[in-house]
Amino acid sequence: MVTAKLLLKIYDNRERALHSAKILLDNELKELDASAQVHICEDNWLATDITGEDSEFACNFLINKYGTPVRDIKNDKIYYGFIQQIKGNEIVVDIGVHVSVPQKNLTVLGSGNSEQIAMRFGLIKNLPVRIEIKEEIEKIAAFTKEQIDTWWKWKKSGQDRVIANSVTRSELKTAVKRTGHARDIYGIERLGLMEHMIICRDGTDGPGIVSAIGKFIKGDLGVIISTS
């Protein structure tokens, strides 16, 4: 047996998140002679115990695809992580250690403090992001150009979008259907294990979708209002 710690956050409804993780990993390993059992390790990361003849290969495959939490960081290196906290002068990202994206590195997203910028782009806690380390000693980072470009693309796309966390795709689809908004959206895109994005149809009001489905969603919701 080999054990892999993966860069997938388990939070809020842990039983549901672990169930989703088990389904995800079973699908990833279905062509291999390998079986994965999942559990939660320190700092709420997902760990998986892998058995079978292909266990070593499966372990390396999953780590290469999903990453693993880091402890040592290097300048100019890109890391994948999750927004941990949004406060007045910074956005804190968890990559295994907490790093700060300070106000000076957020100006590419427009004016305002971090909370105003987060509201503008629908950024919420546990949203998966990519960052680049700028000062390793002080643990200072910036969002990558690719990440920034993605957020601006969403903002200018012509369709409002809704970000939801701590929810499965099927639960989100059910909430949309229960509120009668199924015909008002193009679809739901997976951003992470329990993080998804609703893409609204042209003319559909994103805040209206948030208001309608909010009572059926236990996690956080963010909305991106298109400027086009």
In a domain, 136, yes or no: yes
pLDDT at 179: 94
In a domain, 72, yes or no: no
Q: Are residues 178 and 217 in the same domain?
A: yes
pLDDT at 88: 83
Range of the domain at 107: 78-151
Q: Are residues 50 and 91 in the same domain?
A: no
Choose one of 110, 135, 151: the last residue of a domain.
Answer: 151
In a domain, 91, yes or no: yes
Choose one of 101, 130, 151: the last residue of a domain.
Answer: 151
In a domain, 73, yes or no: no
In a domain, 135, yes or no: yes
Q: Are residues 145 and 165 in the same domain?
A: no
Q: Are residues 84 and 144 in the same domain?
A: yes
Q: What is the CATH number of the domain that holds 33?
A: 3.30.310
Choose one of 122, 151, 180: the last residue of a domain.
Answer: 151
Please give the share of the chain, as a percent, with pLDDT higher than 90.
92
Is residue 177 over pLDDT 90? Answer: yes
Q: Are residues 143 and 160 in the same domain?
A: no
In a domain, 109, yes or no: yes
Q: Are residues 207 and 161 in the same domain?
A: yes
- Confidence bin at 75 (pLDDT 50/70/90): very high
For the chain, the domain total comes to 3
Q: Give the pTM.
A: 0.92
In a domain, 71, yes or no: no
Q: Are residues 141 and 163 in the same domain?
A: no
- Confidence bin at 205 (pLDDT 50/70/90): very high
Task: Report the chain's mean pLDDT, rounded to a whole number.
Answer: 94
DSSP assignments along the chain, one per residue: -EEEEEEEE--SSHHHHHHHHHHHHHHHTTTSS-EEEEEE-GGGEEEEEEESTTHHHHHHHHHHHH----SS--TT-EEEEEEEEEETTEEEEESSSEEEEEGGG-GGG-SS-HHHHHHHHT--TT-EEEEEEEETTTTEEEE-HHHHHHHHHHHTSSS-EEEEES--HHHHHHHHHHTT-GGGEEEEEE-SSSEEEEEEPTT--HHHHHHHHGGG--S-EEEE----
Is residue 14 over pLDDT 90? Answer: no
Is residue 156 over pLDDT 90? Answer: yes
